[in-house]
Amino acid sequence: MPAVLILGGRAPVALDHARRFVRQGWRACVADSISCRGTAWSRYVHACVRIPSPRSEPRQFAKSIARVVAQHDIDLLLPTCEEVFYVSRYRSLFPRELAVATDHFDKLTALHSKLEFMRLAAGCGAKVPESSSVSTLSEAREWARGRPVVLKPEFSRFGVYVRIYPRGIPADARELAHHDRWLVQEFCAGEELCSYSVAVAGRLTAHIAYRPLYRLSRSSSYYFDPVPAPAIRAFVEQFVRKTSYTGQISFDWIRCADGELAVLECNPRAISGVHLFAATDALPAAFMGGSAEIVEPSRAPARMIATLMLTAGLATSMRTGRLSQWRQDYLRARDVITQPGDAWPLLGTIADFGLHAVRACRNRCSLREAATRDIEWDGERLPEC
């Protein structure tokens, strides 16, 4: 029986991966540097291991993974969150015969950089918004010349620090801070879309596009509605071929009023599109390059994180007068946390949330920071192996 080690067990996508791999004949182990009871308490998980934080102890993180790989006879190492950058950087510490679902570190760096990605995306079949690198607000103003723009740090995630100025940069806008380089980008109005894909050596092996219908402010979505988007798939096929990419890869999109698709940024890791694949869809085979066809969800009802739909989603819908629409959306979607015969992950997720809240209070930071700061990577130099 082959075995997979799934990193980033704190994320719902890790739970989803574990269930699917096990149902298709694998043994699933999970590792993370913070509490991940939401995944660890699933009956599908064979073992859960606590490992060092990649951000604070990167080499120890990699060495710990190597020990887990040997101890549990792992065949595939599958990062899900931003620990992917550290896995890639220290790939030489893992056995050569181990399949690792990620690409070379320099390539991931270029994709993670919102500046470099714009250059790589050119010529792949989608609109690439005009962009430029800036380090001060005055530079951004000079480039924008009154046009609607978006400002975002070169390295960031979940929409953190993003500023959207659909009427141009106002006179009272705050100076840029926190980061050395920012991206100023042409503002594209329209419908937000996302895509999630898997590729092996430049060949697209799995793909889905969806609408993130409900979000936490401008950050992470918790409702995932599949959409047919052949043009997005065509772009992804061309992009992974151009870059000879291996691993999970995700893109943010805007469908403009005239129907044109604009690609905004890339995440070389998993996102919530994973949830749209059925338990029987051959996603595990896609990671190993063994699927002759591109794996797409055989049946893809909308999926949601029900606890957030019942709290944040309901509150927002009541405030905005969209309660009827919320009810329709809730009834047509399936929860990604709870499944028949595997109820403990819901309690584990609630326990994890409580621990994140305690950590946020202790460190005087947001819940998002408390849940991700130990795995984030913002382009800083990493120590040698």
Residue linked to tokens 């962009």? 131
Provide mean pLDDT across the span 183-208.
Answer: 95
Q: Hey, is 217 helix, strand or coil?
A: coil
C-beta atoms surrounding 59 within 10 Å: 17
Confidence of residue 38 (pLDDT cuts 50, 70, 90): very high
pLDDT at position 285 is: 96
Q: What is the domain range of residue 310?
A: 103-126+189-342
CA atoms within 13 A on the CB side of 334: 13
pLDDT at position 159 is: 64
Q: Which position has the higher pLDDT, 383 or 54?
A: 54
- Considering the domain architecture, whether residues 214 and 306 belong to the same structural domain is answered as yes
Q: Percent of the chain at pLDDT above 90?
A: 74
64-73, 311-320, 351-360, 362-371: which range is least confident on average? 362-371
- Considering the domain architecture, whether residues 87 and 180 belong to the same structural domain is answered as no
- Considering the domain architecture, whether residues 288 and 216 belong to the same structural domain is answered as yes
The pLDDT tens digits of the residues spanning 266-277 come to 999 999 999 999
d(CA 371, CA 42): 20
| CATH classification at residue 233 | 3.30.470.20
- Considering the domain architecture, whether residues 296 and 216 belong to the same structural domain is answered as yes
pTM of the model: 0.94
The pLDDT tens digits of the residues spanning 217-234 come to 777 899 999 999 999 999
pLDDT at position 217 is: 75
- Considering the domain architecture, whether residues 302 and 278 belong to the same structural domain is answered as yes
- Considering the domain architecture, whether residues 110 and 198 belong to the same structural domain is answered as yes
pLDDT at position 269 is: 96
- Considering the domain architecture, whether residues 278 and 332 belong to the same structural domain is answered as yes
Query: How far separated are the first and last CA of the chain, in Å rounded?
Result: 31
The pLDDT tens digits of the residues spanning 88-145 come to 999 999 999 999 999 999 999 999 999 999 999 999 999 999 999 898 888 889 998 9
Average pLDDT of every residue of the chain: 92
d(CA 36, CA 29): 12
pLDDT at position 313 is: 93
